[in-house]
Every structure is written in structure tokens, then in C-alpha cells.
Amino acid sequence: MAEHLARKSEASTDPRAIARAHAIYTPLMLSFYDVLVHGLSNRYAWKCPTPRLLSLYEANLTANHLEAGVGTGLFLDRAGAEFDRLVLLDINRNCLARAARRLARFAPTTCEANLLAPLAEHMAPFDSVGLTYVLHCLPGRMSEKLKAIDHLRPVMADGAVLFGATILGRGVTPNAAARTLLDLYNAKGVFNNREDDAEALAQGLNQRFATVEIERQGCVALFRAA
Ligand SMILES: C[S@@+](CC[C@H](N)C(=O)[O-])C[C@H]1O[C@@H](n2cnc3c(N)ncnc32)[C@H](O)[C@@H]1O
């Protein structure tokens, strides 16, 4: 089932950079993703254990939720929440298919869309939006990445919460494992976070929301805005 979010116009960012940022998510790679990212990298490289990210979901999910950049759907699977309406948005069909299968018990709706292009506004508003580990993938400077949030805001209800996390490339002290992964992923265009720091994230969120909370854990910035 697909909830249609048509693009109103094309994204201004280089389409090849946008494609490189998600091309890695093949069905085979997604079968290793949870172990690689949430099992190993979070703990040993980024120094932000997955239970910390999960607690962000447990605290902020509502029954009317949009997950933007869904990956394998791990957090929604594990958070213990119930949904009246769950929409999974991603540019990558493999992610949508895998997450929708995993979360089938919630009868999710899927939406294939590029967060760097405006979304159609006919979608009924959501009470919570998750955006985890997406910003560090998106090409461009923080100000350009945060256009993704500008595209999500029209589908947020009054008082809705946006929450998530992103791996920073600046102002952090990565260990050897993190440095290796940052080098590798940035070289491949899977990450584009060399210039991302907590200050730029805070500034961008504060420009857009009345209430902003940002917490640093290792190389990761966890955020909540309403
Ligand atoms: C690193 S994964 C994070 C997945 C999941 N949120 C998690 O924390 O495990 C990044 C996700 O963002 C999606 N993505 C990357 N670029 C995107 C874009 N321009 N628009 C929408 N989704 C995008 C990818 O396909 C992938 O599902």
C-alpha cells in the first residue's frame, strides 16, 4: 500500500550525491545492517549504545507517527509502541520493503520520497516524526540538509514532536574505529558529515522550532524539537 507523497519539484542538491547516500542499502546489505550499525558501530565506534537511541523512541513516539529514513525499522519494532497510523518514508525501496515486512503487525503505509525535495501537503498531519541517522547521510552543508526538516514540517501537527539522531563529523573526538568508518563512508558518499557539528544542528533546529533539546553521546547528537 502506498500513501502518495508526490514531489512538487526536484531537489536542488546533486542527484548523484543523493543517490550515493542510499545506494548501499541493497537487500543483502540490509540483512547485515542491524548487526553492523546498531550492534557494533553504535557501541564501539560512535559510542552511543543502541539502547540510548531506543529510549529516545520510547519517550517520543505517538500513535500517529511518520518515520523518515526508515532503514530496517529496528527502533519501531523494538520500542513497544502501538500505532493508529504509521507511515514509513524513504527514498530507497529496499528499505521500505524490508521495514514494512518487519512492521507488518502495525499495517504501515509506505511512501517512497526524497527528503531533499518538497513533499505534497495533502497528507494528514502526524503527531511525531522520527529522523534517525539520516542527516549525516544527506549531501550538503547542515543548512542544506535541514531542508529535509522544512519538507517534513508541513506534515507535522501543531505541537508535534520531531526527534532523532545524527552522527557528527566535527567537534567530536572519534576513536580509531570511528575515524576509519568516517573516512570510508565519506569517501563513498554514504555519509556526508565532515562539516556537521552540534552548533550548526542546534542553530538550524532553533530557527525552526520553539523547543529544542540536543544531547551529545559520543559522536552522536540526539535531538528533540517541538
Ligand atoms: C543510515 S540509514 C538509517 C536508518 C534508520 N533510521 C536507522 O536508524 O537504522 C539512512 C536511511 O535514510 C534513507 N535516506 C537516505 N537519503 C535519503 C533521502 N534523500 N530521502 C529519504 N530517505 C533517505 C536511506 O535509504 C536509509 O533508509
**pLDDT tens sequence across 76-97:** 999 999 999 999 999 999 999 9
- pLDDT of 9 > 70? The answer is no
Using a 6 Å cutoff on CB, does residue 91 contact ligand 1?
yes
Domain edges within the chain? 15-225
In this model, does residue 4 exceed pLDDT 90?
Answer: no
Atom of ligand 1 nearest to the CA of 74: 9
Per-residue model confidence (pLDDT) at position 177: 98
Beta strand pairing call for 64-68 and 212-217? unpaired
Taking only the tens place, the pLDDT of each residue in 13-28 is: 899 999 999 999 999 9
Q: Where residue 59 falls among pLDDT bands split at 50, 70, 90?
A: very high
Give the residue with greater pLDDT, 123 vs 222. Answer: 222
In CATH terms, the superfamily for domain 15-225 is Vaccinia Virus protein VP39 (3.40.50.150)
> Hey, which of 90, 111, 222 would you mutate to test ligand 1's pocket, going by the most ligand atoms within 8 Å of its Cβ?
90
For residues 211 and 8, which has the higher predicted lDDT (pLDDT)? 211
The whole-model pTM stands at 0.94
